[in-house]
Amino acid sequence: MKNLATLLIIVFAFAIIGCQPPQQTNVVTTEQLDAVKSEISALKNQVQNLQTALDSLTANYNAHLDKYHKGMPKPPAGGGTGGGLKTPTQK
Amino acid sequence: MKKFLSFPLLITLLIFIGCEKEVTLETPDVTYTVATDDKGGTLKLEWDEITDADGYIIYADGEVIDTVTELSYDATTPAALYEVSAYAGDQESGKDRIDCGAVETPSLTVYGSSDPDTTHPSGFGFNAQGNAVAYSISNQNNWPLIDYWIYSTAGGATIKFVSPSDRTPPLNNEVNVTKNSGQSNYDDVKIADPPGGYSTQTDVRSGAVYYFWIDPTNNGWDASTDHFGKIQVQGINGVQLTLKIAYQPIAGLRWCVVE
């Protein structure tokens, strides 16, 4: 009789343990997901804008070099304090 | 009776001769200006009238070059020293001196910009006494003091006197120029050319004598800030230059006769 009661208790305990709902893991809600997507989209736009600005600056720099510094002698080879030359003037 | 009359006459004549006033001539106080019409080729000397003077004697480097009765003289012969005295008959006053000699720097060593040793000076300028001083451009504190920069390519294939404003980046804003005189005898170059044909960049050749014109304000010739002189390139060794330089301290005057 004692053994039966013990068995019942054990079965009951297992039943209770087995019926526990699974513990919740990290769950991302739909709202959070949407917020992250939105943030990523904004960052992508910012990178795109930076790329456009950089392209524009590069183009302006190259145009300036072509216009004002084309054909200018390079600094002397072989080290030294260097420095280039402007176009000479007479007076 | 005749003898008696001629004796007082003789005495009177002797008294007149003996009483002739001895003239003491003061030394003229001479001032000068640099003539603008020929842009520094003429030094105009002026002085006040000296009492009892018959005229004035003009000396250039110790030699009498003219005698005038006016109170001014346009000196067009380049010299290191002008003197003026007053004269009356065979008496002559003391001489007032105008020192117009160029200040010489007998030897200055500078290096082209391609010299591997960046501590070597590749620029030079002039101090308050008119002596040339070499400056290293690796020290930016020297940049305002530099009147000419020495540009060179590797090995010294090309070496140039360059205005500090013509360097990139510029050393300062002075537009100073040079011109090859076409002469190789330093002492024969007594006056720099007037403005015209000077360049902010001039190729350097061993032995050649160059005129230089320092024009800090780049306003053309003027007698307030401009200075002239001559440079002889005494030797070139790779990118090393040895220079002999004469600097005229009188602003605007193109004479470069050394004292």
At B16 the pLDDT is 47
Number of folded domains that form chain B: 2
At B192 the pLDDT is 98
Domain hosting residue B26, numbered range: 21-99
Contacts of A71 in chain B (CB under 8 A): none
Q: B212 or A31: which carries more pLDDT confidence?
A: B212
At B14 the pLDDT is 43
* Closest approach of A45 to chain B, Cα-based (Å): 39
Give the end of a domain, one of B99, B115, B137: B99
Is B70 part of any domain?
yes
Give all strands (DSSP E) within B127-192, no chain letters.
132-135, 148-152, 159-162, 167-168, 177-183
User: What is the average per-residue pLDDT within B177-193?
Assistant: 98
Q: Does A91 contact chain B (CB < 8 Å)?
A: yes
* Record: contact B167-A72, CB cut-off 8 A: no
Considering the domain architecture, whether residues B76 and B117 belong to the same structural domain is answered as no
Per-residue pLDDT band for B187 (boundaries 50, 70, 90) equals very high
Give the end of a domain, one of B99, B116, B141: B99
* Record: contact A89-B137, CB cut-off 8 A: no
Q: Which of residues 32-61 of B touch A (CB under 8 A)?
A: none
Q: Does B62 contact chain A (CB < 8 Å)?
A: no
Is B127 part of any domain?
yes
Q: Does B153 contact chain A (CB < 8 Å)?
A: yes
* Record: contact A76-B153, CB cut-off 8 A: yes
Is B255 part of any domain?
no
* Record: contact A83-B198, CB cut-off 8 A: no
Q: Does B138 contact chain A (CB < 8 Å)?
A: yes
A9 phi and psi angles, rounded to 5 deg: -60, -45
* Record: contact A77-B114, CB cut-off 8 A: yes
Nearest to residue B105, comparing CAs of B212, B33, B7?
Answer: B212
Q: Which of residues 83-112 of B touch A (CB under 8 A)?
A: 112
State pLDDT tens for residues B16-56: 454 455 678 999 999 999 999 999 999 999 999 999 999 99
Considering the domain architecture, whether residues B229 and B125 belong to the same structural domain is answered as yes
Q: Is the pLDDT of residue A5 over 80?
A: no
Q: How far is CA B51 from the centre of its chain?
A: 32
Considering the domain architecture, whether residues B55 and B175 belong to the same structural domain is answered as no
Nearest to residue B145, comparing CAs of B156, B155, B154, B137?
Answer: B137
User: What is the average per-residue pLDDT within B168-186?
Assistant: 97
Q: Is the pLDDT of residue B218 over 90?
A: yes
At A77 the pLDDT is 46
Q: Does A77 contact chain B (CB < 8 Å)?
A: yes
At A23 the pLDDT is 56
Per-residue pLDDT band for A53 (boundaries 50, 70, 90) equals confident
Give the end of a domain, one of B37, B70, B99: B99
- Compare CB distances from A85 to B112, B116, B201 and report the shortest one's residue: B201
Is B140 part of any domain?
yes
Integer Cα distance of B25 and B84 in angstroms: 13
Work out the percent of chain A whose per-residue pLDDT is above 70.
Answer: 53
User: What is the average per-residue pLDDT within B225-239?
Assistant: 97
Radius of gyration of chain A (CA): 38
Q: Does A53 contact chain B (CB < 8 Å)?
A: no
Is B11 part of any domain?
no
Q: Is the pLDDT of residue B9 over 90?
A: no
ipTM score of complex: 0.80
Tokens of B124: 């030079």
Per-residue pLDDT band for B11 (boundaries 50, 70, 90) equals very low
